[in-house]
Amino acid sequence: MPSRYRMFYDTVVRPDLLSKMQYKNVHMVPRVEQMTVSISTHMKASGADNPIPAAFILELLTGQQPVFTRIRRANAKYKVRTGVLEGAVVRLSGDNMYHFMDRLITQALPRVTDFQGLKSSSFDGRGNYALGITDWSYFLEVESQHNNLQNFGLQYAPGLGIKVLTSARSDDEARLLLSGLRFPLKTGK
């Protein structure tokens, strides 16, 4: 069964964008192609932290098994060497992507204290959007597993990096698409 966000895109957002932007073909309407959710544990001055709890968090949030990432270049400031595990990444597409997007927008972001909206300046110029969440405990899946996460021995809560890849050709198209999908974007830059 398709997610409710997928059905919302197909029945509301897509026809709305088709009429607003006056596309000649329905296939020209921008869509969200992929979401990448990553978590990094190496940016602590004490050295590389254990990436296993980070992978467990990503698996809780996305429902997919993450892929571990390694450090490509040594950095003396963070006391890390090339080839050391640094974190994990999950690439979401299809219904899993829409399910995660639904939970992000309707459950996690409204629970953030003093939330002012997502920055409009985080577009990359090609229609893709990046956002970061410093505390992943706003997700209900993680909240229910809080005791298990403490047993893993996380020294600190690493943040989540979320990238939204769209088929939009410009930032304005992507901004219309994401605001149609109810991303709480700030109006000013």
Residues 72 and 23 in one domain: no
What is the pLDDT averaged over residues 23-34? 92
Residues 59 and 115 in one domain: yes
Residue 52 belongs to some domain of the structure: yes
Task: Report the pLDDT value the prediction gives residue 46, as an integer from 0 to 100.
Answer: 40
Beta bridge partners, 67, equal: 89
The stretches of the chain forming alpha helices (DSSP H) are 4-8, 14-21, 51-62, 95-103, 140-144, 146-152, 171-180
Task: Report the pLDDT value the prediction gives residue 48, as an integer from 0 to 100.
Answer: 45
Residues 69 and 90 in one domain: yes
Residue 183 belongs to some domain of the structure: no
Residue 174 belongs to some domain of the structure: no
Please tell me what DSSP assigns to residue 49: P
pTM score, whole prediction: 0.86
Domain span holding position 92: 32-165
- Which helix (H) or strand (E) segment holds residue 166: the answer is strand 160-166
What is the pLDDT averaged over residues 156-167? 87
Cα 16–Cα 165–Cα 126 angle in degrees, nearest 5: 85
Share of the chain above pLDDT 90, in %: 47
Residue 47 belongs to some domain of the structure: yes
How many angstroms separate the CA atoms of 17 and 173, rounded?
9
Task: Report the pLDDT value the prediction gives residue 155, as an integer from 0 to 100.
Answer: 54
The domain total for the chain is 2
Residue 105 belongs to some domain of the structure: yes
